[in-house]
Amino acid sequence: MNHYPLFADLNGRPVLLAGAGKVAERKAESLLQAGAAVRVVARELNPVFQKWADEGKIEWLGSEFHDDDLDDVFFAVAATDDYAFNRRIFQAAEQRAKLCNTVDTADLCSFTVPAVIDRSPLKIAVSSGATAPVLARKWRQIIETLIPLHTGQMAALAGKWRNAVKAKIKGTANRRRFWENLFDSRFNALAAQGNLDAAEAELAAQLDGFGAAKGEVVLVGAGPGDAGLLTLHALQAIQAADVVFHDALVSDDVLSMMRKDADKISVGKRAGSHHVQQEETNRLLVEYARQGLRVVRLKGGDPFVFGRGGEEAQVLRQANIPYRIIPGITAALGATAYAGIPLTHRDCAQSALFVTGHSKHDGHQPDWRTLALSNQTLVVYMGTLKAAETAEKLMAHGRSGDTPVAIVSNGTLPHQSVVTGRLKNLSELAENAPRPAMIVIGEVVSLRDELKWFQENPAQSRLHTLHEQAA
Ligand code: SAH
């Protein structure tokens, strides 16, 4: 099967449809939408067809099919529940060199109708060549989620400017480069925000300054590790990037979403092991964007949660580089969900606090009295090194040493591991926990026994049991 794909302009063109039941109705709907003049052969019309006939939207030829009904139509669709009748139409169509589509009957089709993703004027058709329509529909659904709703509006704007672009930029290759850059640039983001005027102004500006394109930086939250937790915006930004600066925390699965020809630069920094310094990262972001590149700064979790996204955005603002922020699922949300620990629960935690065990200004002391309050969940980022001190301070300020605690390591990843115990044993639990690790303190941790759902690495589960015994 090697079908030739095409998009037909049916506006005002007659088409023959056999059948006027539920199945035929779906066919008629899409034909009418395309503006076809639908002629129906059917013993009787269902109420919808009847209404269409009354309104003059379709023409009913009666119950008899005559071969010469095919003479002045462009193609036929056989959608009755009578195989023999459908076959008669197909055979007559073959003899008269007309295309015919028969519903759900591959051997009576000279053309098939694809599953369609409609972002008019952009349309994407998926076909399995009459072998597995359900599979084609499944792919349609997947693609549907990947193609933003505003794509149609972008296509319409592009259509409006097509001639102007052709007049200004010589050479097909140059024009292709212009359009590629445009669709991956701020133009896309502006259209996505529904700001079509600004998008059009951006198009005009890029056309004006073609060759001197200005880059941008997108601060993207990569989520805690499982690539399925990326947002659609994040995925699109990663795939559009010319260069990606990423943390050590960003998982390989997420990085594998990059274009193969894009540059990948690790600027990871983990407590203890210094890689590229923050000032150097800031400098590189500005430098690459100034070269007109689409720069993605990819950060574990969310860029604005203990991620220095705020500092980087400030630098970009000062350097006058356009930027966007795409939030991600922060580790506190991802790791607890995959560990089966609800952050709040009406019975035992009315609030959740996200704190860091590590701060830029040494000597800065958190308000331990507030942190030690009961009926709340405390989530500590970067907390394993200072776990002993944290536990001690919380207990000194009134939190019970028996408060349940969990340490979630490599949350949401296949090698996630979780250990649970009591606040008084937190430092021992933390000592052996693989990193990155997140400390969760509060009664909600005890719900894990009931709510645990994610399959964790068996080797780590053994450790889990040892700790349980120790606790
Ligand atoms: N911006 C990130 C946090 C960066 S700070 C976010 O929003 O998630 C780094 C800390 O995040 C680590 O020390 C650890 O406490 C936590 N962390 C990040 N990813 C994690 C993961 N997959 N599992 C557990 N903790 C994680």
Strand order in the sheet with 75-78: 58-62, 37-41, 14-18, 75-78, 99-102
**Strand, coil or helix: 453:** coil
Residue 452 among the catalytic residues: no
- Per the residue annotation, which of 214, 269, 424, 452 is the catalytic one? 269
Ligand 1 pocket, Cβ-based, cut-off 6 angstroms: 224-225, 249, 299-302, 305-307, 330-331, 335, 381-382, 408, 410-412, 436-438
pLDDT at 468: 43
368: enclosing H helix or E strand: helix 368-371
**Phi, psi at 138, each rounded to 5°:** -60, -45
pLDDT at 416: 96
How many secondary structure helices (H) and strands (E) does the chain include?
A: 18, 17
- Which residues are part of a known binding site? 22-23, 43-44, 224, 300-302, 305, 330-331, 382, 411
Evaluate whether 46 touches 104 at the Cβ level (below 8 Å).
no
According to DSSP, residue 291 is labeled: T
CATH placement of domain 14-113:
3.40.50.720
Closest atom of ligand 1 to 307 CA is 1
Ligand 1, atom 2, lies closest to the CA of 301
For 87, how many CA atoms within 13 A lie in the half-sphere containing its CB?
4
Q: Which among 417, 424, 419 has a CA at the least distance from the CA of 456?
A: 417
* Choice from 249, 305, 419, 456 to test ligand 1 binding pocket (greatest atom count within 8 A of CB): 249
Cis ω on the peptide bond leading into residue 458 (within 30° of 0)?
Answer: no
Annotated binding site for NAD(+): 22-23, 43-44
Spatial distance between the Cα atoms of 247 and 434, rounded to a whole number of angstroms: 18
446 half-sphere exposure, CB direction, 13 A CA radius: 10
What is the spatial distance between Cα 450 and Cα 100, in angstroms, rounded to a whole number?
58
Query: Ligand 1 centre and the CA of 186: distance in Å?
Result: 29
Specify which residues 6 forms β-bridges with. none
Instruction: Assess whether 247 carries a catalytic annotation.
Output: yes
Q: Hey, what's the torsion of the CAs at 90, 96, 97, 101, to 10 degrees?
A: -20
Task: Report CA(445)–ligand 1 centroid distance (Å).
Answer: 18
Ligand 1 atom with the shortest distance to the CA of 358: 13
What's the pLDDT at 1? 64
For the entire predicted model, the pTM comes to 0.69
Ligand 1 centroid to residue 361 C-alpha, Å = 20
Give the pLDDT confidence score for residue 462 in this predicted structure: 47
Among 438, 440, 456, the mutation site with the greatest number of ligand 1 atoms within 8 A of its Cβ is: 438
CATH class of 216-329: alpha beta
Q: Cα separation of 4 and 204, whole Å?
A: 37
Measured distance CA(44)–CA(63) in Å, rounded: 7
Question: Which residue in the list 184, 247, 299, 386 is annotated as catalytic?
Answer: 247
Q: Look at ligand 1, atom 23, and give the residue with the nearest C-alpha.
A: 411
Structure tokens at 255: 């990085």
Give 3 Cα–ligand 1 centroid separation in angstroms: 50
DSSP state letters, 76-122: EEE--S-HHHHHHHHHHHHHTT-EEEETT-GGG-SS---EEEEETTE
The domain spans of the chain are: 14-113, 150-209, 216-329, 334-451
Q: Residue 388 and residue 192: Cα distance in Å, rounded?
A: 47
Does the domain at 334-451 match CATH 3.30.950.10? Answer given as yes
- CB contact set of 204 (below 8 Å; sequence gap of 6+): 161
Q: Which residues of the chain have pLDDT under 50?
A: 271-272, 460-462, 464-471
Task: Supply the pLDDT for residue 274.
Answer: 54
Distance in Å, CA 300 to ligand 1 centroid: 7
